Structure 1
Amino acid sequence: MGDTQVGARKQAWRPGAPGAVFGWVEALLARQNGYLAAWAPVALGTGIGAWFALLREPGLAAHGWGALLAAGAAGVAVFARSVALRALLLFAGFAAAGFVLAGARAHGVASPVLGFRYYGPIEGRVVEIDRSGSDRLRLTLDRVRLKDVAPGRTPGRVRLSLLEANPWLVPAPGMRVMTTGHLSPPPGPAEPGDFDFRRHAWFEGLGAVGYTRNPVLRATDSIEGMALGRLRDRLSRWVRARIPGEAGGFAAAVTTGDRSGLGQAANDAMRESNLYHLVSISGMHMAMLAGFVFWLVRAGIAALPPLALRWPARKIAAGAALPAAAFYLALAGRDVATERAFVMVAVGLCAILADRRAISLRVVGIAALVVLALRPETLLSAGFQMSFAAALALTAVFGRLPPGWHRPRGAARLWMPVALLALSSVVAGMATAPFAAAHFNRVAHYGLIANLLAAPAMGLLVMPGAVLLALTAPLGLERPALWMVEIGSSWILIVAERIAALDGASSAVIAPPGLVLPLVAAGGLVLMLWQGRGRWAGLAPLALAAGLWAGAERPALLVAESGGLVGLMTPEGRALSKPKGDGFAAAAWLENDGAGRDQAAAHDPVVLPREDRVVRLRLGGVEVLQVSGKTALAALRGCDGAALVIANHPDPTPRPCLRYDSLDLRRLGALAVEAGAAGLDVTSTAERAGRRLWSDRAARDASPLLSSR
């Protein structure tokens, strides 16, 4: 947003005098001299958040006015002599720019979305290989061909889970494959207001998801591009072939970004112990890799006195670490988390080259600006929120430590590293805990202990070993480096397994109301960015967020989009109408309830008895029926005394009550039902999601930016 300079003139003001409020704001912002630039990404994120919060897709006029506001505010701010006016104009300009950037990005990544359920031949090029939540191998394909689907309506990318092992073919990036399988449009939220996978898929260019039980075959002998993807795949297989078991899968994940070799049990243990951030390539990995390369080059120059006296070793080391981090980014696949980590490390290294502080609030702000400008949608992701919350908190806390803390003397050299590691874990854990709990509905109670035990192995063995492996493997001298990586990876997995096995290692948390995370972010930003005693005002939104979260209530009745599953909230927890089927919706409901149990355990045939494929329940003094199957639906006479009927098949029969059949639910999505004073209040996911590009085909067809293509 630009630094502000305070002039020599100071204007006194008194309550009630003309311009008193403006003068107070002027004096208040003047005391933030040199720190207002850190609020630029906050303003940009405010505009991005406003764009995503809309329930109706904004048209060309809204984006045009936003662009004019951004340009006009910036132009007037250049000539503004008042600190307050300049800051307010620039905040408004950055917010308007964020609004326009979000719209431009959403329309720029537009790709066809499959509008129906498809079964038939599927052909495409493999661009990504990973594992699903059910531990199935999963392929992401581009350059897709579907039978009897026109190229203009064929999704740019599809994601396919392989339900059966394929011994005849090992897929690799760039390979063109074919199979026969099922595809559907990306699914909507499991309940109104829940995470919308359709939005995530839209920005990933993913137009359909599905599965196949048939073998995946190679369509052609040629390899279509994806040189870096093939290199990543070869390196991942090379590492797993030399480091056995889960340790090899972990080592491949942190060195190449390929997590397909890590089993579900290991993944679950890492999550339960709050160590999963060690699996996903993040700022820690980038910082460790770049830091080790920096140290290695600088130490090498320092070991040669003639060079150390003549060459700027610090800048040369930073210049060597930057391309190493860039190669790591390219190798890991440039997903959002890795790209965000690289930007932060690159900004820090460039600060060293420019003789600036490598760690400061300004550096964090620049990194956030770059990430949001490139991918505005990351503002809503758990990775962005947790990463920058940790980076901002660590920078703010370490910036307030006494001078010389990083150069300990005497006995402090022994205990200072442990103290700094503990402080870092506490600060980062406290900063990220609200976001982790809100997004994943879990709180790891022994995360601090796990990180204190595992983080040294990552920093002293795994990442240095990975750098040495890259240097020594071409010479055939990789055994010491492989030993370092294997020992460190094995230790981290042992820590995760032991911590996750402890009683009470984690607990489930109820999903917060939608206003909680914005309040947490606002309070945290004021605490970290504002200078002076005014920062304590940030405690107010944090206290309000805590109160809202503590008083959160879950919907009394939830209905799956298929119409085949309902869940009634009882004093003992949510009771589900069946023990299996609609597993995605059931898992999401129970997680958001903070239940900590699976679908089979939540199935309660006493509370929700099923007779003749009809589930009858009471909600607020009225009856609700959930009918499964055509036969049961045809046998239903009227509404049978119910105020609401849910059917998982089309129901052409007029009924004297509120009725949602499969056609209604396909259009409206999952339902949340409450008992109101005037009857039942029904909220659909379509109502909460609005008419946006990713959620409503009519909105895509009506968009002037897309229809002009």
Structure 2
Amino acid sequence: MPVALGAGIAAWFILPSAAQWFAFCCAMLSFGCTALFLPQGARIRQVVLAGALLACFGCVLIWGKAMLFGQPPMARPLFTQVAGEVRSVQAVPAQAMVRAMIRPIARPDLPATIRVNIAEVDVPAGLGAGAVIRFRSRLMPPAQPSLPGGYDFALRAYFLGIGATGKALKPVEVLKASNAPPGLRARLFSHILSRVDGPAEGIAAALATGDQGAIADADAEAMRRSGLAHLLSISGLHVTALIGAVIFLLMRVLALSRRAALDWPLMMIAGAGGALAGIGYTLLTGAEVPTVRSCVAALLVLGGLAMGRDAITLRLVAAGAIVVLVFWPEALVGPSFQMSFMAVTALVALGEHRRFRAFATARDERRWRKAARLLAVTLATGFAVELALMPIALFHFHKAGLLGAFANIVAIPLTTFVVMPLEAAALLMDSVGAGAPFWWLTRQALDLLLAIAHGVAGSPMATMLAPTTSAAAFGIAMTGLLWMLLWRGRMRWWGAPPLVVAMALALLAPAPDLLVTGDGRHVAVRTADGMAILRDRAGDYVRDSFSESAGFDGALSALADHPAARCSDDLCAMHLTGGGRKWRLLFTRSKVRIDRDPFEKQCADADIIVSDRRLPRWCRPRWLKADSRLLRRTGGLSIDLRSGEVHTVLQPGDAHPWIAPAAGWPRPQLYRRSRPASLP
């Protein structure tokens, strides 16, 4: 059921236009009608009929939600003064700012909700939910991927109801102060930050509230590279530990009463208490997809145990996936949903395998053999999860962990049995003013966790890098992987060939020779010495985007310093070999108007020219002119000179509602100053 439902949802995201969405639904209904001619009572008839109807329902479900609840983006950037009501405020201490969701007042030209960043030094008194503030800001449509295969914030913002983003410029005036006290989550977040010092404070706050805004970028990157990032997202580990602790404590406390121990169903009562604790924890931490999935799974486990059933099965995972897909179908295309459910599916499928279950079953044996068996089981499950998540990590992040199984052997027990109990005890003891010793111990344990993360992340074998993976290869990999995990017996191995082929395509895919961001300002060129960037003052976000899309883990050098490049203040030209020929590349570097005669000759001699301005029609390179006029229609570019392939962020005719129409953008500015197009 979840596979068929997810196939319909995925079809809506993959197919570009409403006509094709409608055609997909008609095709699925026709398959369903075809199934009616199959023999009655046959399983294939049930599979085809149910699968076709669920796929059609999935496409209609996400289509309907997008039309009814999505927020279209702004058509063009706008510098304006905004007065609006604050819906929510989120502190981001790691970036010295707060994020506020604003509902503009008396501005029908603006989206219903905008998100603005306010620097900590500019945050006025009285800012909070319900406040009315006024500020100036340059509002932008939510950012589309800067490069092919990059993170699509515009898609996420559309379903979150965010139509524009910007930064509030000082002064930020409070027209009406908030009289609502901060929510429990915000108070808990601030309290933990006040009790824990150093880098550990962000980890401590994330474990309790799910808010990762206080984690430094270096620590977050180390957790990702070491395969420990799942500890920061409130998911199965945290929910299970909390519910298990609540059940254990309730059982012990209730058993102190003789009457309760003899007459009451203690397991049922303790299970109900654990279920309530899990639901409360899920709501407290923001009800993200991994948390909801974990909470649903935990409730199903408790229900199965109450009925005397084997609760840990693939049906458990399927039930959780159906709940998430019905209420949040857009989550399917996000890495959180994919990695969360794939990891759990791999663990349950491995646990259901008869040979693994026979090996992992507890038995009477010496302690050292029991410890060795437990270590082997832990390593096996860790490797299974790493292998299952590798295609997803390569597709979304262009990197996959290789040492995560070893890091998790220490990190998971440390988090589950040391950090979380200490933090819970510290919060409990703070109610009587005696939490300081527990907070000190919590900080020491978290410092050890960060030391493990940085140590593993610093290894040259910590991650496997790959350039942007095609959606086709990713789809083949997911099909093969799901086939292997969901089938039983020898048929499961039929999924191995497509999985191997897809992984080979991803790992052996050629790295792009030229990367261009959607605004045309930033360009990265692959050279024999590594990667060179046009503007060496580009920020970390741009550099990281180039490195990930190219599958490159080194430092980006300045293109002007490369021996094959000739650069002035206005232009930069270089020769690059690829596909059995030499390519002449030309890039603009300034906003100054260049005289026509020399610049026209430079254009004619170039094979590819990239510019963040709108170039005149008489500028005609031999192969490609990627100026602002073209980039507004294509978005960022990835160019492979060996094959002559050009990949774009935006696809022709893409009618998904979060894509701002290029026709609504303002005309490019005119340049009045003039400078000769001289190159050294």
TM range (shorter): 0.7 to 0.9
Structure 2 equivalent of residue 222 of structure 1: 178
Structure 2 equivalent of residue 650 of structure 1: 614
- 8 Å contact kept, 1:583–1:599: no
- The question of 1:522 aligning with 2:475 is answered no
Structure 2 equivalent of residue 110 of structure 1: 70
TM-score by length of 2: 0.85
Amino acid in structure 2 at the alignment position of 1:381? G
Distance 1:668 1:698, change over 3 A: closer
Structure 2 equivalent of residue 335 of structure 1: 288
Match of 1:51 among 12, 22, 37: 12
- 8 Å contact kept, 2:610–2:625: yes
Structure 2 equivalent of residue 156 of structure 1: 112
Match of 2:147 among 183, 188, 191: 191
- Structure 1 residues 262-277: aligned runs within 5 Å: 262-277=215-230
Match of 2:308 among 328, 342, 355: 355
- The question of 1:611 aligning with 2:575 is answered no
- 8 Å contact kept, 2:466–2:506: no
- 8 Å contact kept, 1:273–1:505: yes
Amino acid in structure 1 at the alignment position of 2:403? Y
- 8 Å contact kept, 1:457–1:488: yes
Match of 2:321 among 346, 368, 375: 368
Amino acid in structure 1 at the alignment position of 2:391? P
Shift of 1:479: 5.6
- The question of 1:297 aligning with 2:297 is answered no
Shift of 1:347: 2.6
Amino acid in structure 1 at the alignment position of 2:8? G
Shift of 1:540: 0.9
Structure 1 equivalent of residue 211 of structure 2: 258
Structure 2 equivalent of residue 661 of structure 1: 627
- 8 Å contact kept, 1:627–1:633: no
Amino acid in structure 2 at the alignment position of 1:495? I
- The question of 1:203 aligning with 2:166 is answered no
- 8 Å contact kept, 2:129–2:178: no
Q: Distance in 1 between matches of 2:16 and 2:119?
A: 37
Structure 2 equivalent of residue 425 of structure 1: 382
- The question of 1:496 aligning with 2:496 is answered no
Q: Distance in 1 between matches of 2:478 and 2:255?
A: 44
Q: Distance in 1 between matches of 2:62 and 2:37?
A: 23
Structure 1 equivalent of residue 554 of structure 2: 597
Distance 1:441 1:644, change over 3 A: closer
Shift of 1:218: 3.7
Structure 2 equivalent of residue 6 of structure 1: none
Structure 1 equivalent of residue 636 of structure 2: 670
Structure 2 equivalent of residue 455 of structure 1: 412
Distance 1:644 1:437, change over 3 A: closer
TM-score by length of 1: 0.82
- Structure 1 residues 110-129: aligned runs within 5 Å: 110-122=70-82, 123-125=84-86, 127-129=88-90
Q: Distance in 1 between matches of 2:646 and 2:461?
A: 37
- 8 Å contact kept, 1:175–1:222: yes
Q: Distance in 1 between matches of 2:92 and 2:464?
A: 25
Structure 1 equivalent of residue 656 of structure 2: 692
Distance 1:61 1:404, change over 3 A: closer
- 8 Å contact kept, 1:136–1:161: no
SS at match of 1:686: coil
SS at match of 2:651: helix
Shift of 1:230: 1.8
Structure 2 equivalent of residue 85 of structure 1: 45
Shift of 1:552: 0.4
Distance 1:592 1:681, change over 3 A: closer
Shift of 1:44: 1.0
Q: Distance in 1 between matches of 2:469 and 2:71?
A: 32
- The question of 1:641 aligning with 2:616 is answered no
Deviates more, 1:497-506 or 1:427-436: 497-506
Q: Deviations over 1:444-468 (max 9, x none)?
A: 3432232112211211123334555
Amino acid in structure 1 at the alignment position of 2:661? R
Q: Distance in 2 between matches of 1:670 and 1:578?
A: 16
- 8 Å contact kept, 1:576–1:608: no
SS at match of 1:515: helix
Structure 2 equivalent of residue 631 of structure 1: 592
Q: Distance in 1 between matches of 2:459 and 2:615?
A: 51
Distance 1:503 1:554, change over 3 A: closer
Shift of 1:666: 2.4
Distance 1:546 1:442, change over 3 A: closer
- Structure 1 residues 164-183: aligned runs within 5 Å: 165-166=121-122, 169=125, 172=128, 175-183=131-139
Unaligned runs of at least 5 residues, structure 2? 665-680
- 8 Å contact kept, 1:77–1:90: no
Amino acid in structure 2 at the alignment position of 1:687? Q
Shift of 1:361: 0.7
Q: Deviations over 1:341-386 (max 9, x none)?
A: 3222233223333433221111011111111111112111111111
- 8 Å contact kept, 1:70–1:94: no
Q: Distance in 1 between matches of 2:455 and 2:125?
A: 36
Q: Distance in 2 between matches of 1:194 and 1:392?
A: 26
Shift of 1:144: 3.1
Aligned length: 650
Match of 2:331 among 371, 374, 378: 378
Q: Distance in 2 between matches of 1:419 and 1:195?
A: 36
Distance 1:500 1:645, change over 3 A: closer
- 8 Å contact kept, 1:628–1:649: no
Q: Distance in 2 between matches of 1:208 and 1:650?
A: 25
Unaligned runs of at least 5 residues, structure 1? 1-39, 701-709
SS at match of 1:206: coil
Distance 1:674 1:664, change over 3 A: same
Distance 1:196 1:406, change over 3 A: same
Match of 2:531 among 574, 585, 589: 574
Q: Deviations over 1:662-683 (max 9, x none)?
A: 2332233223344489xx6655
- 8 Å contact kept, 1:73–1:90: no
Q: Distance in 2 between matches of 1:459 and 1:676?
A: 50
SS at match of 1:526: helix
Match of 1:513 among 448, 457, 470: 470
Amino acid in structure 1 at the alignment position of 2:47? A
Q: Distance in 2 between matches of 1:170 and 1:263?
A: 27
Structure 2 equivalent of residue 411 of structure 1: 366
Distance 1:602 1:630, change over 3 A: closer
Amino acid in structure 2 at the alignment position of 1:210? G
Shift of 1:324: 0.6
- 8 Å contact kept, 1:137–1:161: yes
- 8 Å contact kept, 1:112–1:152: no
